[in-house]
Amino acid sequence: MRLPITLLGTALCLTLSAHAQSIDPQKVTFDYVRLPLVPVPAGTHTFQPEVLLRYEDAVKQQKADHQTAVADAKTKAEQAKQEYKAQSFGAKALNRLVLDERKPGEAVIPPADYTAQVYDGKSLASTYVHVSGLQASQGSGDLHVTVSLDGFTQGPITPLAVQGSQVKVGGAALGDGVKHAYEVSYKSPMYVKVAAKDGTVLLDEMIEATNTYTVAKTEAFATEEGLNKYWRTNQNAFMRQLDENLLKSNMKLVTEYLDSKFGQRPVTRNTSIIVISDKKVNYDEYPQAYEKALMGYKMLADPSRATDAQKQIGEAIALWNKALAEANPKDKKARIDEKVMAATLFNAAEANVWLNNFDEAERLLARLKLLDISRYNELAKELSVVVQDQRTRYSANKKS
């Protein structure tokens, strides 16, 4: 009877040993210098910002056309009054009886459509047009950065009927439960052109996100007449607020776009280095690799310490690669079992990114994805995006 008990005890010990394993993601935050997607000529230190309002003449024409329409309406009203006044009393009576023609009233002034707000181009340029690592110049700069605005563009205004609950005041129904509102679509396209001092065009593109219609809704009213009354009074104020909000959000996109394309600045990376430990199994290489990788990552923001950073990160990778060499994902009792292997693959993939070993990083991520462990699938997906972005930036600057 003692033999089975001994075997059972051994099995329990193995089980406890397996479950004593600790896989601990240590959160890490560090800065690295993000390279530009579009390299600038050597010796580039300044840029001249400019914002062009390409729609300004169209706004002036729109206002002039409305003024003309108002003047025409007043002229026609005055002519109608004079013609009526020139008629004889009998003619007036006959026309009123036969044609139901009344005394002409005042001119019906045509409503003015909303006109896009004309902003101060110089103010926009100084507030939003920036390139990290370069100094803005009031005169001629090493780069000429031009942001062109087509202005607030109004799309369809669509009536909406939304089914709601009955609206009652003092027991009296004010509507049939249907609410009436307007849905307004609008956009404000923007373009960016960057040229070097010698006239070479480095970039000339529309920012696609600014050419997509945004949709806004007015407040809802119990009756169509209530909606129309609100719109007659508040249309310009409603549209002006949309115009101003869209300008700010789109100009921020311009800032981010220029920074991504041409800026060179420290960017913060939030990730994890996974440390393995066990009370009965030796995983000493994992805290060692953690310390080396962490030291290397923290040096990435200082180009003068690039060699030291590479050395520390490279030594961490060597420790993780040695562990991967003995990986046995099918054996739950193995020191480097499936879960430890997954954690190690992730650590090594992240580290290879910062040595610009992008092929190796992708190879390790491919192995990680094959394990199909849910907790690592999202990590691998996010890191894949970083790998692609870093590869693109590195390749662009290596060619230059």
Residue 384 has a pLDDT of: 98
DSSP 8-state secondary structure symbol assigned to residue 221? B
Q: Residue 178's domain spans which residues? A: 46-55+117-262
Q: In percent, how much of the chain has pLDDT > 90?
A: 72
Tally of domains within the chain: 3
Say yes or no: 106 and 128 in one domain.
no
Say yes or no: 184 and 272 in one domain.
no
Residue 105 has a pLDDT of: 63
Phi, psi of 181 (to 5 degrees): -150, 170
Say yes or no: 306 and 191 in one domain.
no
Please tell me the number of Cα atoms within 13 Å of 63 on its side-chain side: 10
Say yes or no: 282 and 366 in one domain.
yes
What are the tens digits of pLDDT across the range 15-24?
A: 334 447 899 9
- Residue ranges of alpha helices (H) inside the chain are 2-19, 56-86, 89-99, 121-128, 224-262, 285-298, 306-324, 338-353, 358-371, 374-399
In a domain, 94, yes or no: yes
In a domain, 8, yes or no: no
Q: How far is CA 212 from CA 115, 153, 179, 235, 361, in A?
A: 19, 11, 28, 22, 36
Q: Which residues of 120-134 are buried (b: 16+ CB within 10 A; e: fewer)?
A: ebeebbeebbbbbbb
What are the tens digits of pLDDT across the range 38-96?
A: 999 989 999 999 999 999 999 999 888 878 877 887 878 778 777 666 766 665 566 56
DSSP 8-state secondary structure symbol assigned to residue 210? G
Q: How far is CA 92 from CA 27, 77, 146, in A?
A: 91, 17, 65
Beta carbons within 10 angstroms of residue 247's beta carbon: 20
How far, in Å, CA of 137 to CA of 47, rounded?
A: 6
Which residue stretches of the chain have pLDDT < 50?
Answer: 1-19, 167, 169
Say yes or no: 129 and 195 in one domain.
yes
**pTM strictly above 0.95:** no
How far, in Å, CA of 284 to CA of 319, rounded?
A: 10
